[in-house]
């Protein structure tokens, strides 16, 4: 069985915080690789404006090139429609017949897991790797971990990931203001943003 992690997200753009949780999961959980998978349409964010999916995918691929064990995945973009994680995992099982999948996610996504499409089935069947940020919704997170373990016998690994206070929103705002983002995103991602004029204020 190949142990494969999946880190899904809008990745608008992908940043060093995402890379830090993917690489921590890779090392701490002994994963063979982590797929960085941009969503086509995140179910809770349908209608929200995001950068073009090919730009988000290309940036993810640039970031993956700089980090061993990480790979960009177009699975949800190719699958189309709304990106329900349950369906994504079913699709991946067809491609990686000998794969065991671990879904990596942060606190906000984790807390809402029970309300996802087929969330209860996901919690009973998929191992989750939870990235944390000390002080951030800590008590809510602990309650959710306990509840999911008791109700669904959920397999949850809590990561000891480095904390990077970076958000995609901050990066987009900095680009719009002409400020540097070189400390916040991998080099190839910064170059891609500049080259394609992403996140600039429209005149």
Contacts with ligand NAP by CB under 6 A lie at 8-11, 17-18, 21, 39, 42-45, 83-85, 105-109, 116-117, 131, 133, 164, 166-167
41 or 192: whose CB is closer to ligand NAP? Answer: 41
Cα–Cα distance list, 202 to 14, 48, 55, 57, 58 (Å): 22, 17, 17, 22, 22
24 or 192: whose CB is closer to ligand NAP? Answer: 24
3 or 163: whose CB is closer to ligand NAP? Answer: 163
- As measured in angstroms, the least distance from the Cβ of 47 to ligand NAP is 14
- As measured in angstroms, the least distance from the Cβ of 118 to ligand NAP is 8
134 or 178: whose CB is closer to ligand NAP? Answer: 134
Residue 36 tokens, joined? 């960085």
Q: What is the distance between the alpha carbons of residues 57 and 38, in angstroms, rounded to a whole number?
A: 6
Q: 16: buried, middle or exposed (CB in 10 Å: 19+, 13-18, 0-12)? A: middle
- As measured in angstroms, the least distance from the Cβ of 149 to ligand NAP is 19
Cα–Cα distance list, 81 to 84, 113, 128 (Å): 9, 20, 24
Q: What is the distance between the alpha carbons of residues 151 and 33, in angstroms, rounded to a whole number?
A: 30
- As measured in angstroms, the least distance from the Cβ of 154 to ligand NAP is 16
- As measured in angstroms, the least distance from the Cβ of 105 to ligand NAP is 4
Beta bridge partners, 35, equal 6, 71
Containing H/E element for 78? Answer: helix 75-79
**For 134-139, which contacts have Cβ atoms below 8 Å and span 24 or more sequence positions?**
134/163, 136/107, 137/107, 137/108, 137/111
- As measured in angstroms, the least distance from the Cβ of 203 to ligand NAP is 28
51 or 192: whose CB is closer to ligand NAP? Answer: 51
162 or 203: whose CB is closer to ligand NAP? Answer: 162
């Amino acid at each position: 069985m190949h142990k494969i992690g999946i880190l899904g997200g809008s990745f608008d753009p992908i940043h060093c915080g995402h890379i830090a949780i993917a690489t921590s999961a890779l090392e701490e959980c002994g994963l063979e690789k982590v797929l960085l998978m941009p969503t086509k349409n995140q179910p809770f964010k349908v209608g929200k404006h995001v950068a073009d999916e090919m730009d988000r995918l290309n940036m993810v691929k640039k970031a993956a090139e700089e980090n061993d064990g990480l790979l960009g995945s177009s699975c949800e973009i190719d699958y189309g429609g709304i990106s329900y994680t349950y369906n994504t995992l079913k699709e991946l099982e067809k491609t990686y017949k000998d794969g065991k999948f671990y879904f990596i996610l942060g606190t906000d996504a984790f807390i809402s897991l029970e309300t996802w499409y087929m969330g209860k089935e996901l919690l009973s069947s998929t191992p989750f790797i939870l990235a944390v940020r000390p002080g951030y919704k800590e008590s809510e997170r602990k309650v959710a971990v306990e509840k999911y373990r008791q109700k669904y016998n959920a397999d949850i690994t809590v990561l000891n990931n480095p904390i990077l206070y970076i958000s995609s929103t901050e990066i987009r705002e900095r680009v719009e203001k002409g400020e540097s983002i070189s400390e916040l995103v991998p080099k190839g991602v910064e170059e891609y943003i500049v080259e394609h004029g992403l996140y600039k204020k429209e005149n």
